[in-house]
Amino acid sequence: YRISSIEPNLLMNEIIEFVANSDKFMPHFHIPLQSGSNNILRLMRRRYQRELYADRVALIKTLMPHCAIGVDVIVGFPGETDAEFRETYDFLHALDVSYLHVFTYSERANTRALEIEPVVPMQVRNERNKALRNLSYMKQQYFNGQHTGETRKVLFEKHSNDAMMEGYTDNYIKVTVPRMAEWVNKIVEWKL
């Protein structure tokens, strides 16, 4: 099992400790942040601040240093200034997380966000998205590199083409290997 898309204010110490001590749960969390700016989190009506998020990440990494942590983040939310985006970038840069899922804000009918000014121009939203995707790439490479040489459990789920297949380690590192039909939907020990 993997813990995915649990809000940081609902991710209690007991859940993290349970996962750390379980042989049924993988060392992988995906926790939405949305913004690294407390002001933007307030505008989004989130029930947490970035300090709580950092606390959750720190506890996970203390109990499971090898754990992958993925983050959802939105760029270009109405009212997001350059300084608030920089807060988000710097917060994520300093945070010990493994990868980011970056979303560009898009307007939705009948939402309070439509009333918030100023609207962030689409070109700026796209630039911010690109900056965080580049940061995500660097974080993913760093995380993967920390585990080079380790032997980890990999679940191979699909073929990427006729000659190759791919899967993910218990801590969510993508592995591509020559196709072995007998490994599909099996957990295999693999040296990274």
Predicted confidence at residue 160, as pLDDT, reads: 66
Q: Are residues 78 and 41 in the same domain?
A: yes
Q: How far is CA 10 from CA 47, 50, 102, in A?
A: 10, 14, 22
Q: Tell me, what CATH number does 115's domain have? A: 3.80.30.20
Predicted confidence at residue 181, as pLDDT, reads: 86
By mean pLDDT, which of 52-66, 133-147, 162-176 is the weakest?
162-176
Q: Are residues 133 and 168 in the same domain?
A: no
Nearest Cα to 19, choosing from 57, 54, 60?
A: 60
Residue keyed to tokens 């099992």? 1
Whether 26 shows a pLDDT value over 80: the answer reads: yes
d(CA 155, CA 143): 19
Q: What are phi and psi of 133, to 5 degrees?
A: -65, -40
Q: Are residues 140 and 157 in the same domain?
A: no
pLDDT tens for each residue of 85-116:
999 999 999 999 999 999 999 999 999 999 99
* Cα four-point dihedral sign 22, 23, 24, 28: positive
